[in-house]
Amino acid sequence: MKTSVRTSRGWAIGLVAMALAAPAAAVVNYKLNAPMASDRGDVGGGEVRHADHPFQISPDGRWVVYVATADEGDVSELFSVPIDGGPAIKLNPPLVAGGDVRAAAGGMDLPFQISPDSRRVVYLADQQADQVFELFSVPIDGGPATRLNPPPRHPQGDVRGGQAHPFRISPDGRRVVYVADFDVDEVFELFSVPIDGGRVTQLNPLLAGGRGDVRGDVPHPFLISPDSTRVVYLADQEADEVVELYSVAIDGGGRVKLNPTPVAEGDVRGADPKAVEAFLISPDSTRVVYLADQETDEVFELFSVPIDGGPAIKLNPTLAGGRGDVRGPEQGMPNPFVVSPDSRWVAYVADQETDSVFELFSVPIDGGPAIKLNPVLAEGRGEIRGADNMVAHPFRFTPDSRRVLYVADQEIVGVMELFMVPVGGGRAMRLNPTLAQDQGALVGADYELDNPFLISPDGRYAVYVADQDTDEVIELYASRLGGINVRGQGLDVVDGDVAPRPGDGTDFGAAGEEGTSRTFTIENLGPEPLTLGRPAIGIDGEASGDFRLEVEPAARVAPGDATTFTLRFVPGGAGLRRATVSIAHDGADPDGSYRFAVQGRAGS
């Protein structure tokens, strides 16, 4: 496992070395956008500012699509341009006076999406009537724009833009699903249409006597299954203000309610905007996992159901004497549960064992015993952070679905760190070294950061931001997942840790003339045998002569096995004596070594 400033610097040094060794080459740089509207235009301009970025790159890597005030100040329009340069193409036709390409009422990530095959762009605009936002589809390289929705039947109707995703393109790129109040003002319904235009299909029936709607007041009122066959949506379809979960074929038909009738006042929570993910569809498109106070009002629990209907299974056991819940609806965790990439597991946060103590659990997606993944959290007062903070993703599955990474103040109250644990339970391993003398934290603990860490697509590294070296100085780090790991006195000694601690044995404490010994365990967490160097253990630093190898480790460690080595500290002088231990190995670490600091002092 590789996590450290040393690692980050090693990568930086390697990049610099490659740059110096490579032949000199001119930097190619060119402007992509069309000329702007005098000094008032800009990319992403107008009065609407987009949350992340005002442009997208097409999936095939050939085009860039962006919104800009290029022709008239404060009028946002849609453009595409070849990524390697060339004339920018305006995709929308002339807009009605006052019209532009944007969301109807704010809150939308982007007013356009590129189809998965990179052929078309779907966008939202009040193109034909001011303040009437409709949906259009246009070839990415320019051409006639096709209106996807029928004309609204009343002047205030439009495609709802006051949410993050009022429309979605199906994964196969063939259809567009959207929410609109075309028939009755403020009654939002769900529609499906071919991406290049054609017959529009209304997916929902009459909603609660004409008063209900597909809940447009949540960020994700509907999702399209990964196989593009079905749409799952939230609506008060049967009873006004009772939000339930439905599934329908993407071209209409096969409509079914997924949840049983909830208790009085209960519903599939998602009506509260904080619960961004009130439901998820499994990657294999077979099941839907959802959050609801289905059995007890205001007690939110987790359920799983086949996507085309069937018995709903409660995934969690009784929560904290009936008072706990899968947290998310009222306390600010936007995503209190996730589904594994292989569609076999669900991980969730809940105060399942102790009221208001939020911990991490896993459970098979089709039901079974729930497994607590974390140990006791910081004297019983810690938590998987996100329970009371707007951190969207404080836990994630690795791409192989075998492990879960999470952020928690597991060892010290208020010090949020990164841990990894097998999905079926087992030892939770800390991935970061000591954080700024126990004062630092992974950002996300005290900041509204959606992603305090990410996992590389190959599952080999976690990348995170933290004030790891200097308190309040946020920097970027990587930790290798798997391979070699070292433990002392039952605790992880993270690679690159420069702050010895008595708890893990790296601080030997005071020693007399006889000295004192500490034994460390080398674990092989990778899939291949681990071969240690000869010599395997190196000691350097200002007081390296005070630490000597007493017992050598084995030369080879099988996957899942471990070996031990023992260091003896005999102080050679007064005061604090420090050294660095290195373990040479053939693992996947960039420099083939694992390093950590040790220290001790003279005394009895």
Give residue-wise pLDDT tens across range 126-181: 899 888 889 999 999 999 999 999 987 777 778 875 566 789 999 999 999 999 88
Instruction: Please report which confidence band the pLDDT of residue 469 belongs to, taking 50, 70 and 90 as the band edges.
Output: confident
- Average pLDDT score over residue span 492-506: 91
10-60 tens-digit pLDDT: 333 232 333 334 454 567 777 888 777 665 667 775 444 444 567 899 999
- Of 498 and 63, which is predicted with more confidence? 63
Contact 494, 596 (CB under 8 A): yes
Q: Is the pLDDT of residue 280 over 50?
A: yes
Q: Is the pLDDT of residue 313 over 90?
A: yes
Contact 416, 444 (CB under 8 A): yes
Tokens of 244: 């339930």
Within 303-449, where are the H helices? none
CB count, 10 Å around CB of 384?
30
Which pLDDT does position 603 carry in this prediction?
A: 85
The ranges of the chain annotated as CATH 2.60.40.10 are 487-602
Contact 337, 291 (CB under 8 A): yes
Which pLDDT does position 13 carry in this prediction?
A: 28
Closest CA to 291 of 343, 339, 255, 340: 339
d(C-alpha 383, C-alpha 224), whole Å: 33
Which pLDDT does position 332 carry in this prediction?
A: 55
Which pLDDT does position 220 carry in this prediction?
A: 80
Q: Is the pLDDT of residue 388 over 90?
A: no
Q: Is the pLDDT of residue 357 over 50?
A: yes
Tokens of 598: 């040790």
Question: Thinking of the domain 487-602, which architecture would CATH place it in?
Answer: Sandwich (2.60)
Contact 574, 543 (CB under 8 A): no
Closest CA to 443 of 474, 471, 470: 474
Which pLDDT does position 440 carry in this prediction?
A: 59
- Average pLDDT score over residue span 569-574: 94
pTM above 0.85, yes or no: no
- Of 373 and 331, which is predicted with more confidence? 373
- Of 245 and 48, which is predicted with more confidence? 245
Candidate from 271-280, 298-307, 455-464, 551-560 with smallest mean pLDDT = 271-280
Strands ordered across the beta sheet of 120-125: 112-114, 120-125, 134-139, 146-147
Which pLDDT does position 216 carry in this prediction?
A: 56
Tokens of 307: 């996507």
401-445 tens-digit pLDDT: 999 999 888 888 878 888 999 999 988 888 888 776 556 566 644
Residues in the chain: 604
Tokens of 108: 């939308």
Beta bridge partners of 341: none
530-567 tens-digit pLDDT: 999 989 999 999 999 999 999 999 999 998 899 999 99
Which pLDDT does position 588 carry in this prediction?
A: 58
Tokens of 68: 């800009």
Tokens of 460: 């080999």
Which pLDDT does position 185 carry in this prediction?
A: 78
